Amino acid sequence: MSAVFAASPGRALRLAATIEAALGTVCGGLLAALLALVLATVLLRYGFSAGFAGAEELGIWLHVALVFLGAPLSLAGALAMRFDGIVQRLPRGGERAAAVVADALTVAAALVLALGGGRVVGMLGGVSPALGLPEGLRFVAPALGGGLMLAVLALRRIGEGRGAGLSLSLAAGLLLYAASNALALPAGLPPSAALGLFALLGLAAGAPLPHAFLAAAQLAVPFGSPLPGEAIVSATVGGLSKFLLTAIPFFLLAGGLLTVSGAAARIVCLAASLVGHRRAGLAQTALLTSVLFSGASGSSVANAAFGAATFQPELVRNGYPPARAGAVVAAASVLDNVIPPSIAFLILAVATELPVGPLLAWGFAAGGVMALCLAAAIHLTAGDETALPRAEAAERRRAAGRALPALGLGAVVVLGIRLGIVTTTEAAALAALYTLLLCLAAKSGGMPVAAAFRQAGAEAAAIGLLIGSAAPFAFLLAVDGVAGLVSSFAGGLGLGAAGVLLAVNLMLLAVGLVLDIGAAILLFAPIVLPLAVAAGIDPVHFGVVLVVNLMIGGLTPPVGILVLVVSGVTRVPAAALFAAVLPFLAALLVALALLSAGALLL
């Protein structure tokens, strides 16, 4: 470490960039290996009526390795899932202090992974029956990932000229980790409440959300948490050890490859030919493109980044104020986690064991309602923005023909799952293969395809780390009986189905103000779903309402991840975007009300 501190700022940044580039390549390679594995199992089953023993477990191990080896890539940028709304309002000294606290929690989280993972490797005996490999091998990746997080954090802070703050953060993080293992505080605050409080404080300080969860899980130990460091790592890995979750990187990859292949541009042309001539036609084109693009990517963050780079400049050139243009892009991006394939529905299925197929099928209907409400909002709030020339019928047919290869991707995925032809993960892998073939047909070149694999691997690592880091919190909520307490309280109020749905919607809207959708689903869906079922609401319909509700949180301050992504790409201040997105937020609340009413009627 002394050599690290002695490094010059420029050299430290270059070394950090080198490590991150290498880890990106590793993540892309692991994603490629995972894709090859799943496609091989499909080929063996349908081509040779055979199977590969241990394929599912190997896929889980590869996914775990991808998540933890890619963990250092989420220290900065949108992948960090930071909440900086409070920090930005602090005076200069307070901002520096908050940065030290945030980094201290990252240090504590890295120590949990590195030391806890190392202890699990040493303690865990036996071999995997399916793979014949030592069980402890699965925990090598968390240990390595934690060590690499520390190294990259140190190098970046030195490169930024923040060596003094880094020293304080390292000392504070070490102290927090050591004290949490040595202290035993009097009982009083339930461990889950302690974890939630520390995570909230870390979030307010600007720490990445997964790091805040991991550090808070460690800090809950003195309050009676039954999860010491090695158990936190085991719970985190256990939260990722579901084969269904391996579908997430495939959907991310399909969206990236769709852009590389040029199919995304053809979707834009089709949308423009259909609605570009209408009032606020270019904004309507952005919305319709988001609807069509949703059928391949499944990621609202990916669509927000794509729309911010593609549509926002074009909207501004055609007379839209920069903030309104960015708001249109951010609002339209909400649809990607509702219209299948949807990563949010996959996370919900993992958290609640609801069936994926029906969730995705109803996601089409919910996405349609939301799109219509957004289209109405765009129309009603339009100024004197220029519309595009009306396309001739022949032009529309040509645009539809060129876009056809990409348009049916979401429908094929959902039908394959609903008809039981393939599993969700296999459908996602086939979608990735299909878009890869589109790239090859378009002769997109090896470098862009490799970059798409690296980007999808990094995004999958960030999402996976969030899912895994929420698992200890979910475990403590179950141990403390929080779901039972909430059910008893709701039962005592005597609310009917409408009252339960209204109360849950209001609560989830509040949760969406401060939590990312993935974390919110993992933590709150298992608590509120039994309330809905007890009130007579269909669980699948309620699950769709829950996802729509929490997706609205992508537009609400202070977290508003979709607004922050658009702000980062376009350089439009986040405050201006939050103000400009209000009409679209109102439209989505109308859609939520309509879908809630539908859930009650159905």
3-state SS, one letter per residue, for 466-497: HHHHHHHHHHHHHHCCHHHHHHHHHHHHCCCH
Question: What local confidence, expressed as pLDDT, does residue 2 receive?
Answer: 46
222-250 per-position pLDDT tens digit: 999 999 989 999 999 998 988 888 888 88
Say which residues have a Cβ less than 8 Å from residue 369's Cβ, sequence separation at least 6: 591, 594, 595
Residue 107, both tokens: 């240090």
Q: Phi/psi zone of residue 556: left (φ > 0), alpha (ψ -120 to 50 degrees), beta?
A: beta
Is-contact 389 272, C-beta < 8 A?
no
Three-state SS at 191 = helix
Question: What local confidence, expressed as pLDDT, does residue 470 receive?
Answer: 86
Distance in angstroms (rounded) separating the CA atoms of residues 434 and 429: 9
Distance in angstroms (rounded) separating the CA atoms of residues 281 and 386: 8
- According to DSSP, the residues that pair with 134 across neighbouring strands are 127
181-190 per-position pLDDT tens digit: 988 887 678 9
Distance in angstroms (rounded) separating the CA atoms of residues 425 and 412: 13
Is-contact 282 385, C-beta < 8 A?
yes
Low-confidence residues of the chain: pLDDT under 50:
1-2, 4-5
From the number of C-beta atoms within 10 Å of its C-beta (0-12, 13-18, 19+), residue 568 rates as: middle
Residue 121, both tokens: 């490797």
Is-contact 345 301, C-beta < 8 A?
no
* Biggest CA pair distance of the chain: 76
Residue 544, both tokens: 């769709």
Is there a cis peptide before residue 228, judged by omega within 30 degrees of 0? no
**Domain range list for the chain:** 2-241, 245-601
Question: What local confidence, expressed as pLDDT, does residue 4 receive?
Answer: 47
Location of structure tokens 């499944």? 298
CA distances to 193, 418, 502 from 188, in Å = 10, 48, 32
Query: Does the reported pTM lie above 0.95?
Result: no
Is-contact 146 69, C-beta < 8 A?
no
